Amino acid sequence: MDASELEQLAQAVAAGSLAPHELVERVRVDSVAELGYAQVDTLRGVRTGVSEVIYGAGKTAEQIAGIVGAMREAGQSRVLITRLDAGKAAELERLGCAFTFFEQARAGVVGDLPEADGNGEILVLTAGTSDVPVAEEAVLTARFLGNEVTCVHDAGVAGIHRLLRHGDEIARAQVIIAIAGMEGALPSVVGGLASCPVIAVPTSVGYGANLGGLTTLLAMVNSCASGVSVVNIDNGFGAAFQASLINHLPGRSA
C-alpha cells in the first residue's frame, strides 16, 4: 500500500463507504509482508516519507530478490539496496532481479532515480580520493531520496587551498556532508565556512593509530565548530538520509 492508496481509503471513510475500523484493519494487515527470513515494512514510506531500504550485507542474493519482490508487490516503485558487492549483484541479475548496479557506491537501485524535489543542494566533500566509496554511497542515496547533489573530491586540509577554491559551492549548499579519514579535520574547517548544517562522516582510512576510523570518529565528535553533527564510521548512507530530511523540511528554501 502506498500513500495514494491510503488516501483513497481515508476518502472512503469520509464518504461513509468504509468503516473506520475497516481502515485500521486494512492498514494493519498490509503493513508487513512476512517472508519467513524477513518482515518487510511495506508502510514505512507512508509513515516516514521514505520507503524501506535493503541492507545487502549479510543477506543472500535470493533473500534480497525476495524482499525486492515483496516491496514491488506492495507498490514501491523504487528500491535502494546498500552494501551490495559485485558478486552478489551478478547473482541477483541471474535471478532475474531488474536493477542498476553502482559499483563504486556498492549499491543497487531498482527502478529509476526521481527528479530532485528538495529545497536546495546537498554538497558532498571528501578529504581524499580514498574516501570516494563512502562519498559515492552518500551521493547515490541523496539522489535516490530526491535531492540535487554536487560532489567535490580530494579537498582535504593537507592542501587547504583545494577546499577554499570551492567557496561558491559551500556558500550555496543547503546541507554539507564532509567525509574524511585520518585526523578528521575537514568537517571542522567546513563548519567554520558554511552557514548550513554540516554532517561529518568518519572513514576507516588511515594508518595504524587511525584504529579503523575510531580516531577520526572521536576527533569529529570533539569538533570545535558549531553546527557539525557526526554519523558512524563509513556511514555515507546515514549521512545522506539525514541530509535529505533537512533538505526537505517545510519552509526552507535555497
Give the CATH number of domain 121-247; options: 3.10.20.880, 3.10.129.10, 3.40.50.1970, 3.20.20.80.
Answer: 3.40.50.1970
Going from the C-alpha of 75 to that of each of 6, 30, 35, 81, 143, the distances in angstroms are: 12, 11, 17, 17, 20
> What's the pTM?
0.85
Quick one: pLDDT at residue 10? 83
Q: For residues 109 and 7, what is the distance between their CA atoms, to the nearest angstrom?
A: 27
240 vs 23 pLDDT, higher one: 240
Instruction: Calculate the CA 85 to chain-centre distance.
Output: 17
In sequence order, the β-bridge partners of residue 203 are: none
User: Among 40, 42, 85, which Cα is nearest to 60's?
Assistant: 85
Quick one: average pLDDT of 37-54? 78
- The string of pLDDT tens digits covering residues 82-129 is 999 999 999 999 999 999 999 999 999 999 999 999 999 999 999 999
Quick one: average pLDDT of 57-62? 94
What's the mean per-residue pLDDT of the chain? 90
Q: Return the domain boundaries, the chain.
A: 51-110, 121-247
H, E, C per residue of 105-161: CCEEEECCCCCCCCCCEEEEEECCHHHHHHHHHHHHHHHHCCCEEEEECCCCHHHCH
- The mean-pLDDT minimum among 46-55, 76-85, 143-152, 171-180 falls in 46-55
Is residue 147 within 8 Å of 122, Cβ to Cβ?
A: yes
Instruction: Provide the sign of the torsion angle of the four alpha carbons 238, 244, 247, 251, taken in this order.
Output: negative
Q: Is 196 exposed, middle or buried (0-12, 13-18, 19+ CB in 10 A)?
A: buried
